[in-house]
Amino acid sequence: MVNKSSAKELYLEILKKTILGEIWLEQLEYGPIPSHIRIPEELTKELSKLNLEILHKIIPNKEKRNGGLDWPLLAHSMIGRLRLNNLHECLETVINESIEGDFIETGVWRGGSCIFARGFLKANDITDRNIWVADSFEGLPKPELERYPQDAGDIHHTYNFLRVSLEEVQNNFKQYDLLDNQVKFLKGWFKDTLPVAPIEKIAIARLDGDMYSSTMDGLVNLYDKVVPGGFIIIDDYGLENCKQAVTDFRNSRQITEPLITIDKYGVYWRKTL
């Protein structure tokens, strides 16, 4: 007989393995040709007529997946085990210390982190908190140099792999039986959706916007809603533009809480005031 606590932990561990695609790491994956490999246009056209395309064979790497250093073709998250474990720890702390507020992620890709957060709430029979899923669902924005010249040269908007539709993310939630009225979607560019988002209190804000603009828009519009004791998680601190946005924001607000390293890319801090 498995007790409730053990069943809950087993469920959350299986949820992690599935979201990260760890269960299938021994399987070959096939995906788009890397951008640095040039395929003759004539060949591409001829293959297209036959409804064929050239794919790149990928052998999943457990170490890279652990640190969130690959872009998995089948998994529902690319943040890796270390960053997903960090999210789990933050969720546990919020519940154990009765910290008020919802969870929000800005930049969700296929929705994996939000799916895990919803699964965590369900496993703990928590019905008074929401999961906010904020994304354009159209990929990343082109740099707006008038607003944020720091993003000059950024090419994230050219990556089709990062474009995941709202319908696909909703369907991913459904596959886990986790799409319900505690999951709220904010569709659109952060500069438009976050200032008017009907969120009162935030326990955990997880920012995964890659760019200076996306990171700054998240911090500017959400930070004051994070309650004391809440967490601010930065997924892309290892990217220079994101790091600069965090540094500029923290300096402008005189934030002195230490940044804690999660892995090569992720950091977080806990709000005290």
With a cut of 80, say whether residue 4 has pLDDT above it: no
Q: How far apart are CA 140 and CA 205, in angstroms?
A: 19
Instruction: Give the ranges where the chain is alpha helix by DSSP (H).
Output: 4-20, 41-49, 62-66, 80-96, 112-123, 166-175, 190-193, 212-222, 240-252
Given a cut of 60, whether residue 3 has pLDDT beyond it is no
Whether the predicted pLDDT of 230 surpasses 80: yes
What letter does residue 121 receive in the DSSP assignment? H
List, as one string, the DSSP characters of 51-118: T----EEE---HHHHHTT-S--SS-S--SHHHHHHHHHHHHHHHHHTT---EEEEE--TTSHHHHHHH
**181 within some domain:** yes
Residue 99 has pLDDT above 60, yes or no: yes
pTM of the entire structure?
Answer: 0.90
> Is 200 inside any structural domain?
yes
Q: Is the residue at 2 inside a domain?
A: no
Q: Report, as an integer, the average pLDDT of 38-60.
A: 85
Does 215 fall in a domain?
yes
Q: What is the pLDDT of residue 41?
A: 86
pLDDT confidence of 1, banded at 50, 70, 90? very low
Q: Are 53 and 118 in contact (CB under 8 A)?
A: no
pLDDT, mean of residues 105-124: 98
Host domain of residue 228: 80-270
Query: In this structure, is residue 39 part of a structural domain?
Result: no
CATH code of residue 210:
3.40.50.150
* The dihedral formed by the CA atoms of 132, 138, 142 and 146, expressed in degrees to the nearest 10: -50
Average pLDDT over residues 149-168: 94
DSSP H or E run through 184: strand 183-187
Residue 107 belongs to some domain of the structure: yes
- pLDDT over threshold 90, residue 30: no
Whose tokens are 């890397």? That residue is: 34
Q: Note whether residue 56 is domain-resident.
A: no
Lowest mean pLDDT among 25-34, 71-80, 226-235, 245-254: 25-34
Domain count within the chain: 1
The pLDDT value recorded for residue 156 is 93
Any domain includes 126: yes
Segment 149-163 shows an average pLDDT of: 92
